[in-house]
Each structure stands twice: as structure tokens, then as C-alpha cells.
Structure 1
């Protein structure tokens, strides 16, 4: 009987392992003799463009259904039909912030409120918005959410809830991943033995390994519980072959990470931001301006051409490794092994293995060989260090302060009208959001790497907190006529921060285990946080979201929105006022090119020129971009002798 089960496991492994080695290690594969794996980032890839044509058919019908339901009681309910008759259909994106398991669980509740597959989402939430979304981006803990849903055949949060208590339950984090077996020491030892073997196999195959390999492998058991050893051979590019993605029945998933220049340990708003999507990885930033085929990461190339003609590498793009790359901040958590309550046996086994890596300062994700080696797309105004380095170093996508993955969604070629920003950051010492991610992205457009981006004007952190903008949904960039000073008209931002409704969801970013009951409460509070408490605080909120979705197209077509939208924008759009800590509020009037942030709590607000805005962005970058968790990681790193 046991031999039969073993044979069955081997068969299943062969079926579900998409790496050519049937394991974690990458392997050699044949590829076209004339293949070039790198393209200049002059627009969307041909693959993404073709996929979008399929997706548009789904989003068009789903959005129409949502808007019809949301505006059914409007005085001019025929407006949606009039808009549809123009053929100008609004395009939506959703961004899920980082913040560890807090961001994953609370974000899951938020996404469930947008998902018409969730029980009650249509009646008490915003069901259908997710089906109408073209893009879904995630970063760090938000990337765990996006990645685990997308790479589990686009499962729903409702399905996760319905599957509670099963052996293959998604997000079963009742035990810390450092001690996954709980009181079963042998189970935990076996898990870490498997992780060790997998990472060592990658090293034996000739590839550098880092703590992120260990971290990604550990996470994968929680994110891919139905797959052999947590998807040991499951690759990121495999999603291309999934019917639900091929048919564009789901949003286009994007993961975000930050680049770290060789020889440095500085990550700020001048860092290159990378995205991973099912087809490509790379950056729109002028410091790289290139993308490569994600399937063939690990191939030794020069200017995109394999050094050995007709020979490529596949399997490097392990799904867990890429999800770990976007959350590499938590490598620091792994290095706290000696402060945990693990058994001495597991401490010794895992600690020795991790210490071997940390001694080499490999506390980042290493992409070796560098897929962009010797490419020629970088502007002469920027450093060539990325394309001349042997290794590409990537770190947690939130380390530059942009903890909501806005940048992929702001690309002009993606042509979004509205972005739903789900913020589960820990900007305050109570672990609540305070708008710091929006401030950082706003600042970035005035730097050299963000010169081709546009992001709406946002207030300073004092205003976010004192005006309560971090306690309920708020719209930014409502009036396009006030945004003419930017590079182009950016999408309207529907900001949806984590806030307390039925549960204290402001848990620590470094809380690494949640009971089943705690997970359910996080889900529920997330749902309530973005639906105005199941629409009980404002029964008109669904209609207001509809107004936000239609706003950009209404402006471009010079149409007149239903009169109910006027009240909605009054209730939910930021009015351009700033509030200092002393609660003084100064009206700035029209805020096109005339915003001044308060960087000193005792300062009063004033009008700033375009030049002073740029200078102010530098000051704000120093004040806000290194949020509390980056500071914590830095302090911890110094303590451990890593930095």
C-alpha cells in the first residue's frame, strides 16, 4: 500500500512540477536560435496587448452590471447607457498594499467586498468591481494575497472561507512558518529539511541562493497547499497556460519589487521599481527601461541574447521565489530565530543553514545571471550600473515608501481611469495607515525616475490623520481640470484604508500566526472597512463609487453626470484643504500646481510654485519614505551585523 502511495506522489509531482527539473532548481531547455529575451519598454508587450482584447469583453459586461445596479435609483439612471453608447468604457485597476499577514488577511476581506463571488457582496458591498477590473497589483503582503489567489486558479476569498478546516486550506497560518508543525517537532523538522534540500539543489545547479529563496519556499507551503511540497517546481510563467488566465477571466496580476544598486544598501524614491507579470519582468523607469521574458530568467545573456545559442534556462521563476522577492523585508524575521520559542533541534538546523547565507550578506533576492546584462535602453542621464552588473538585486517592494503598488497602474499605456487603492500599511505607531504611500508616489513624479508619471495631488500626513482621511474611503484627483500641471491626467484614486469596524485589524506587520477565528475577523473587518460598514454608514456609497468610476470618461466626453454624483464628490473627494497638528485648516482653493505640504508640525500651509514643490518632495522623502518597518529592518540589520 505504501509503495502505491509513493508512486502516486511521484506521478502527481511530475504533473504539477513545471520546472524542467521537476523541482526547485532551474534547468536547461532549448530555445530558438534567434531568440532575444529583452525588449525596450516603449509600450505594452504584444502578449499583454492581445490579452487585453480578451479581458475587455469581460470587464465591459461586468462593469455595466455593477453601474446599472449602483445607479438604479439615480434621477438620471440612463447615464450609464449613454456612456456605453459612446464606446468609451472606464478601465479599472486595484492595488493591494504591503503589510505582512495583516495586509494579506485584511486585504482579502477588502477584495471580497469587490468580488461578486462573495456571499452578500452585491447586497452589502461593491460586488462586481473586481470582475470589472483589468489589473490587480500586489506588493509584499498584498502580493501574497494577489499571488495566492491568482496562482490557485483564481480562487475566491469566499472559497477560502468555505474550505476552512480542510487539509488543503489556503492561508492556514495557525502556526508560525518558523514552526509550521506546532507542537509536532518532527513535522516542522521535516518541512525545513525539504526547504533546505530545495535551496541547496538550486545552489548545486550553479545559481546563487539567498535568504529570499528560503523565505519563498517557506511561504509556498501556505500559499500552495494542494501542490507537492508547496509547489516546489511551480513557476510564475505557468499562469500563461492556465485557462482562467488564457481566457482573461481574471484581472492581469502584477507583483512589485524594488531594485538595489550593486554595492549599495540604500532604497529610496530614486530606486528602480520592477514589476513581474505573467509574461515579463522589468521596469518602466528610465534607469532600466526594459523588460525580459519571465519564463527564461536565469539564462546567461548579453543584450538579451543567450550566450549559448539555442540554450536557455527555465524554472528560475519559481512562483514562491517571486512572491518572496516582493516581501524580502521579512528575511529579517527569519534571522530572529534565536529569539523565537523553537526547539533547540530546529533552531540549530535552520539557524546554521541561514547563518551560512547571512554571513555573505545575502539578505536580498539575487537574480543571477542578470537578465539585463549589457542592454542598451538606459538613458544616458542615468547610471548604467544595473545593466553592467553580473547580478540583479531586488528587495521588498515597499522599502522605498511606496507601499501601495501604484506605479504599474499609473503607466500611461495602460490607460486606467480609476485605481482602487487598498491600504493596509502600518504608518502610525498603532499600525494604521496614514497616507504615506500616496505621499511617496506623489513625490516620485518630481524626481528623475518619475518624470513621465502623473499622480494626483494629495495632502500631508497631518491632514490625512487630522481630517480623518485615513479612516474612511477618500477620492483623490476628482477634478481633471485641476491636474493640468501634471505630465498627463492621472487616474482618479479611490483610497480605501484599513480602519476599525468590528475588529482591531491593526495587528503588527511581524505577527506571523493567526488562528482561524482571527483570520475570519480580519476578513470581516476588511469587508466592512471599504463598504462603509456594509453600507450602513452610507447607503449611497455604492452609487458614489460608480460616480468615481465614470468621472474620467464623463470629463473627457464633456457629459453631465447624474446630480447625485455632485453630493458624492462633496462627501468623498479631498477638498484641497490642509490640517496641521494644531488643527488649523487653510483653504488652498484650486489645487492645480499650488500645493504645499507641511513638513514641520508647527508650520502653517502656504502656496508653492512648481519649483518649490519639487524641493518639497525631497524634504518629504526624507521625512516619510522610510516608514516604521523599514527603520525597524535597518535597526535589526545593524544589530545582527548585516548592514
Structure 2
């Protein structure tokens, strides 16, 4: 078994990229406008992304050939297969990490470590090299914290973080009580947050709670130097050596569009993606993208408007990560569980009525870059002076798969890591995949194909959450879904729908079903969850299934085999028989427990970890509904207390 020490060996630390906010701090500032429009219609990938992916393909082709050749496939010439694809199409792998707070972040960290050749032991005991072979990497909410903090710290590794070579992910004290028992430190912390966001307000920009939330997160996700990267921008990813040299996957984080007073469901949500170059949506309600570097600029019909129209620095890194995770702004529900002083708790509680009906979970992007966007079909977005974005999981698509199933990206396989808390015991039940599957039949989801998946009870009863499961194993079975594509995607073939490798959080050596609302972790807890995440992705370090790496390789090559009409080997057929969902349905009341073999058992009392009251009584979806109704935010309250402090 791989010990935690294999995850924490020393690696050389590197410095952060030079920050690009023109003010040198959190506030955005004026810059010269670039030539051309800032907004475009979402007909294809941007020219920047296309050019970058073309170069990344050269890197992933080499890495995939190595990964596949070392996967144990019998009588398989990996280099020849990768270099002789149909129509010269590169094999493309996507990796997606779900939301779920620090639980999702740390579980995802262990899973990411198992895919990363930079982790000691990942090749021998995991799927080391899969990260190096991936074209895209997506995160949502807690998953966006993982993606953002890894990528923006110069594409560091999980092992490098745990070694202490880079001072991030210290969550012993929550962002509610960051100073611990030191009141002076706590007050200085709150003042620092206030001063940063006040600078943005003084620069003429409207604030939202996500400004404070993002700055708070930055204290845990960036080193102390340079005021916890106050001037670091999301678009600075473009300057990272690993990005410039195409040595990392293309990162994307996900948020949802929601105007004040509305509630999100999968059918009416507009799914936004935020990448190194652009922010926008493929959905017909918007169908537009804008240059992420110039968010905050005055735009009319996609063009800069006015002599001093352009702004840079609005896409501050913490603000973008906070936008994807704004559910946590509702954390005042947990205020009495913290070690804050009684006086401060009373002060917060006295202000709750003042904020309980505000739309404080919304991130404000003003001016709205998409105002008057011609491609949009929903006027509530393009006629508004402000663009409102919220936590990417509010439409129940808690695994950020939507950017990866766009035909324009042409993925062959997606590795979906689900660390949600769908059940009363805070384990996943496949609800996110169900939401993405169902969305393709709605107007907002037209133009995409997502493989058939069962109901959430079947996920649990057939052990589809207790072990990895493949969906969409045979492209010919997806033919009936083609009718959901739009005429613009009339060339869509079933081979264009990626195969999904779904892996849900489960316990091997640590109970990792902590509450979504748990904000502080001792190092031993954090490391235990990360270690278990490694074991989830590696099938307990290959001890549950020594052929797991081979089966992953079979999933990667499946779509290209189908395009070429190549029959699977007997080895891959055995893998698919083991891991593919065969269409069976069992919607009866499910069991909840796990065994080390990766299955459930019938003992309702064995394997249930006691969790917090909030997690015990509410499913993840119900939490969202209740939180939206309450509409409260501890950070709004904190912002209101700064002057009092």
C-alpha cells in the first residue's frame, strides 16, 4: 500500500507568475484597449484556444503513447495507434473535479496526485502520466479551488504542496476564524479583506460578497507573499511557463448565470466556463464569449466603448475561484459552530435580518460584457447592465462535464471525479451525471450528447458509486441521442460523444464524507483525505484490481477503435464487462455502505460515519434549495462589521 510519505517528498518550489493587475493590488485599473472586438459568438473555439490545443496535442500524443505502452495492454502498439488516428485526429482526454467544499478539494487533490507522474509512486501504484496525457482540466466550486490553486501556483503538484515547499492549503483555522484564538490576528485579517475590496470600490466598481469571499480564499490558496497574490489574475495563466510550453492541460472552471430573484434549475441555467482566454457560455441563452483579461471594460455590441473603456485586473484569481464557489457565502448558518468570540457572534447575528433577503451569493460582473450580444436567445442576460454569476453546482451539475462534452473540443474520454455530498451520509449518488444527461433533452442542452446513465438509486444499488464505472462504452448505443443536436451540429456523430469514466468518493483508509460546510481541517485530517483520494483513483493502489491501469487504457482508445472499426481485444472486453454499466436498473431503496472490495453491503450500521447535523439531515441538492431561500452570507456580515471592529 502506498503510504502518505510517497505523496510528500520534496520538489523544487518555483515563484508565482508576475501579476498583471495594472494597479499592483486587488483593484482593477485602466489599460489601453486591444484591437478588435472583446466579444464573439460561440460558433467554435477561440483562435487562441485552437492554436494552444494544436501545440498541446503534440505533447499529449507523446505522453499518451508512453502511458498506453506502460499500461499492460497485450499486443498493442501504442505509438503506432496514437500517430495513426482517423483523419489525423488527436486523442483527447479530459479530467473533471466536482464541487463540495474542502472535502471535494482534498479528495480531488489525492485523485489528481494519483494521475500525476510528479507524485512518487503514482506510476507504480496509480495512473501516473494520465494528467500529463490530458488536454483539458475542469473544476467547479471546491474543484475550482483545486484546479486554481494548483495551476496559479505555477502549476505546482499536490506532492509539492504536502511537502511544505509551497505555503498553501493550511486550513487549520477556517476563513471565518482565520486568526484562531489570536484576536489581533483575526482583526487584522478582516481589515485586510476590507481594505482590498474597498480599493476596488474606490476605483469605481460595484462590489459583491464574492469579492470578500475570494480574498478570504486567497489566504489559503496562495502564499503570503505579495499580499496573498492580491494582484494575480486568472488571465495570468497565459504567462505560466507550463502553459506557454503546453506542459499542462487547458484549465477551465465553471459557474452558473442567475439573475437576482430567480432560482436555478438545470433547464433554465446558463452554464459559464472561465478559461485562460475567455469567459462565456455555449448555451443558446447566451452563445457568446468575452476576453477574460478585459472583464470590467465598457463594452457595447462587443466593442470597447469610450476613450478609456478598457480595464484589466477585474479577473483577479481569487474572485474567479470565488465566483465558481459562491454557495459558501451562505456559511453564516454554521456561525455558532466556530470558535469566534461570543461578542463577535452576537454582532453577526444582530445583522442577519438585514442581509437575509439580499442576493448575496451572486458575483457581480459590471459592466456586463454581453450587453446587446446578438447571439443570445435570453434577453434577461443581454439587456442587463450587470452579469450575475453564482456557484457552478446550483443547477445540480456538480461535476463540471458540460465544457468537456462540447463537440468543438472533440474529447474521446472524460475522467469524472465526483466528491459531492448527495446522500444523507454525504456520499455521491450520481445525481450530477443524471442532471447532465437530462439537460441534453432541454433547449439549453441542445447540441450536446451525453451517454445514458441510470437513476440515483441504481447508481448505489449496482455499486456504480462504490467502484469506477464506464458510461457510453458502445457508441452505437448513443444513436438515439443524435436527434437532440441542433442543425448547427448536424455533422455530430456518435463517435463525437466522449466515453465517461466515473469515479465517486468512497472510503478505503479514511472516512472522507465530511460535511460540505466544514471549513477547518487539521493537517492529519487533510492528509488522510488526500491519501484516500489517491486510493480511490488507483483502486487502493492497484490492490483491488491489478488490471485497473489496463482498463483505463482500454477506455482511452475505445472511441478511436470505433471510428476505425477495430474490434476490441479480449483483454479490453473483459475490462468493459467489469466496468461498463450494462443498462440494468434497480430503483429500489439503496444501501449505503462500502467494503474494501469496492462494493456495498447490507449492514446499514457498518461503515456509516457520524457527520455534522447539517450534513446528516440534508442532501446536497436540498442544501442548495434551503441556502437559496435563506440567502444569507457570513462574508456580507463580516463586511458590515469592519467599521465596528
Superposition TM-score, scaled by structure 2 size: 0.86
Equivalent residue for 2:283, pick from 278, 282, 285: 285
Other-structure match for 2:30:
28
1:548, CA displacement in angstroms? 0.3
> After superposition, where does 1:231-246 map in structure 2 within 5 Å?
231-246=229-244
**Structure 2 CA distance for partners of 1:128 and 1:317, relative to 1, 3 Å:** same
Q: Distance in 2 between matches of 1:57 and 1:459?
A: 37
Residue 475 of structure 1 contacts residue 495 of structure 1 at CA under 8 Å; is this kept in 2? yes
Residue 303 of structure 1 contacts residue 373 of structure 1 at CA under 8 Å; is this kept in 2? yes
Other-structure match for 2:502:
495
> After superposition, where does 1:85-484 map in structure 2 within 5 Å?
85-86=84-85, 87-163=88-164, 168-309=166-307, 311-334=309-332, 336-337=334-335, 340-344=338-342, 347=345, 360-378=358-376, 382-484=377-479
Q: Distance in 1 between matches of 2:80 and 2:100?
A: 40
Any idea what SS the aligned residue of 1:483 has? helix
Q: Distance in 2 between matches of 1:625 and 1:417?
A: 32
**Structure 2 CA distance for partners of 1:23 and 1:84, relative to 1, 3 Å:** same
**Structure 2 CA distance for partners of 1:25 and 1:311, relative to 1, 3 Å:** same
Residue 472 of structure 1 contacts residue 530 of structure 1 at CA under 8 Å; is this kept in 2? no
Q: Distance in 1 between matches of 2:426 and 2:270?
A: 27
1:509, CA displacement in angstroms? 0.5
Other-structure match for 1:52:
53
Residue 269 of structure 1 contacts residue 440 of structure 1 at CA under 8 Å; is this kept in 2? no
Q: Distance in 1 between matches of 2:532 and 2:619?
A: 28
Q: Distance in 2 between matches of 1:417 and 1:242?
A: 27
Any idea what SS the aligned residue of 2:631 has? helix
Q: Distance in 2 between matches of 1:639 and 1:218?
A: 13
**Structure 2 CA distance for partners of 1:538 and 1:209, relative to 1, 3 Å:** same
Does residue 546 of the first structure (1) align with residue 553 of the second (2)? Answer: yes
Q: Distance in 2 between matches of 1:552 and 1:625?
A: 35
Equivalent residue for 1:634, pick from 628, 636, 640: 628
Q: Distance in 2 between matches of 1:355 and 1:218?
A: 23
Of residues 257-266 and 506-515 in structure 1, the stretch that sits farther from structure 2 once superposed is 257-266
Q: Distance in 2 between matches of 1:511 and 1:625?
A: 15
Other-structure match for 1:575:
582
Residue 211 of structure 1 contacts residue 354 of structure 1 at CA under 8 Å; is this kept in 2? no
Q: Distance in 1 between matches of 2:632 and 2:319?
A: 25
CA deviation profile, 1:412-463 (whole Å, cap 9, x unmatched): 0100000000000011000001000000000000000101110000001111
1:336, CA displacement in angstroms? 4.9
CA deviation profile, 1:460-504 (whole Å, cap 9, x unmatched): 111101111011100000000111112342100000110110110
**Structure 2 CA distance for partners of 1:358 and 1:308, relative to 1, 3 Å:** farther
Residue 439 of structure 1 contacts residue 458 of structure 1 at CA under 8 Å; is this kept in 2? yes
Q: Distance in 2 between matches of 1:355 and 1:250?
A: 46
Any idea what SS the aligned residue of 1:245 has? helix
**Structure 2 CA distance for partners of 1:357 and 1:637, relative to 1, 3 Å:** closer
Q: Distance in 1 between matches of 2:94 and 2:381?
A: 29
**Structure 2 CA distance for partners of 1:573 and 1:211, relative to 1, 3 Å:** same
TM superposition outliers: structure 1 runs of 4+ over 6 Å: 348-359
Other-structure match for 2:20:
18
Residue 96 of structure 2 contacts residue 138 of structure 2 at CA under 8 Å; is this kept in 1? yes
Residue 283 of structure 2 contacts residue 444 of structure 2 at CA under 8 Å; is this kept in 1? yes
Q: Distance in 2 between matches of 1:461 and 1:306?
A: 47
Residue 420 of structure 2 contacts residue 620 of structure 2 at CA under 8 Å; is this kept in 1? no
Q: Distance in 2 between matches of 1:202 and 1:171?
A: 26
Equivalent residue for 2:481, pick from 458, 479, 486: 486
Any idea what SS the aligned residue of 1:413 has? helix
Any idea what SS the aligned residue of 2:479 has? coil
Any idea what SS the aligned residue of 1:519 has? helix
Of residues 196-205 and 283-292 in structure 1, the stretch that sits farther from structure 2 once superposed is 196-205
Other-structure match for 2:83:
84
1:346, CA displacement in angstroms? 5.2
1:215, CA displacement in angstroms? 0.7
1:81, CA displacement in angstroms? 2.9
Residue 463 of structure 1 contacts residue 580 of structure 1 at CA under 8 Å; is this kept in 2? yes
Question: Any stretches of 5+ residues in structure 1 without a counterpart?
Answer: 1-12, 585-623
Other-structure match for 2:563:
556
Q: Distance in 2 between matches of 1:36 and 1:344?
A: 53
1:309, CA displacement in angstroms? 3.5
**Structure 2 CA distance for partners of 1:543 and 1:354, relative to 1, 3 Å:** same
Residue 26 of structure 1 contacts residue 315 of structure 1 at CA under 8 Å; is this kept in 2? yes
Q: Distance in 1 between matches of 2:619 and 2:335?
A: 28
CA deviation profile, 1:40-65 (whole Å, cap 9, x unmatched): 10100010011112211111111111
Question: Any stretches of 5+ residues in structure 2 without a counterpart?
Answer: 1-14, 483-492, 592-617, 637-645
1:363, CA displacement in angstroms? 2.7
Residue 29 of structure 1 contacts residue 314 of structure 1 at CA under 8 Å; is this kept in 2? yes
Residue 196 of structure 1 contacts residue 353 of structure 1 at CA under 8 Å; is this kept in 2? no
1:638, CA displacement in angstroms? 7.8
Residue 116 of structure 1 contacts residue 127 of structure 1 at CA under 8 Å; is this kept in 2? yes
Of residues 179-188 and 146-155 in structure 1, the stretch that sits farther from structure 2 once superposed is 179-188
Residue 414 of structure 2 contacts residue 501 of structure 2 at CA under 8 Å; is this kept in 1? yes
Any idea what SS the aligned residue of 2:534 has? helix
Any idea what SS the aligned residue of 2:26 has? coil
